[in-house]
Amino acid sequence: MRHLPRAALRQATLDMLHQVTQEVTSAADPKAKAKARWKAKSPKLKDTFDEVRAALEAMASGHARCMYCEDSLGTDIDHFWPKADFPDRAFTWENYLLACSYCNSNLKRNQFPRDAAGQPELLDPTVDEPAEHLFFLPGNGRFLAIGPKGHQSIAVFGLNDNAAPRQLPAPVFRPYSAWRPSFGSTTAWRAPTPPGPPSFGKPRGVTRSAGSSCG
């Protein structure tokens, strides 16, 4: 996982998303309304989401890779704040990430751990700098958690499941000899030494597979 700057959408696209958000929030049952509008998109809304998907694919690392695991092709538009629980965010551009179907439908689903203040404890790669919460060990392909966001992200997304040296896009995966001399100046490796005993999360022994459904 790496930081991914969020692209800007056309104002007409943002206006369309805002219009649907108003429909949802003013409905007697916002959750039901959000679910219905997501499943049955009008032709105009479908065009809007064609642009949303294209923007997310352009933002992703590599060739439209999953923004969470980077192991598989991003096929789904994921709601970072789950639409089932937060219908007011169901049609918000800042709430969309590109995910593989495994991360979206099998791992994250509606899991959304939050802290006592109600803030997310999962990493949003368009908001957070993952290198401040995850320390990658290229020798064994595992991540060390630095704080709650790192720990929860490892656990929810299975980042240490079946850990092995990962074939991630440069510069995330590089031999030790390549990054050691410039450790202090390399963005991907600027995370501080984790305080106390490191945490690897809880491996669950799953095998990833990319699908083609959209959620």
Average pLDDT of the chain, as a whole number: 82
Cα–Cα distance, 2 to 13 (Å, whole number): 26
Is it the case that residue 167 has pLDDT exceeding 90?
A: no
Q: Which helix (H) or strand (E) holds 53?
A: helix 43-59
Q: What residues does each domain of the chain span?
A: 11-108, 130-189
Cα–Cα distance, 200 to 133 (Å, whole number): 12
**Which comes out higher in pLDDT, residue 15 or 191?**
15
Sequence-distant (6+) residues with CB within 8 A of 11 are none
What's the confidence (pLDDT) of residue 21?
A: 98
**Do 122 and 156 contact (CB within 8 A), yes or no?**
yes
What pLDDT digit, counting tens, does each position of 71-112 carry? 889 999 999 999 999 999 999 999 999 999 999 999 999 999
What pLDDT digit, counting tens, does each position of 17-38 carry? 999 999 999 999 999 999 999 9
Mean pLDDT of 160-185: 46
Whether this model's pTM surpasses 0.85: no
- Alpha-carbon torsion 108, 41, 74, 2, what sign? negative
Is it the case that residue 203 has pLDDT exceeding 90?
A: no
What's the confidence (pLDDT) of residue 16?
A: 98
User: Which residues are bridge partners to 143 per DSSP?
Assistant: 136
What pLDDT digit, counting tens, does each position of 107-162 carry? 999 999 999 999 999 999 999 999 999 999 988 889 999 999 999 999 999 999 87
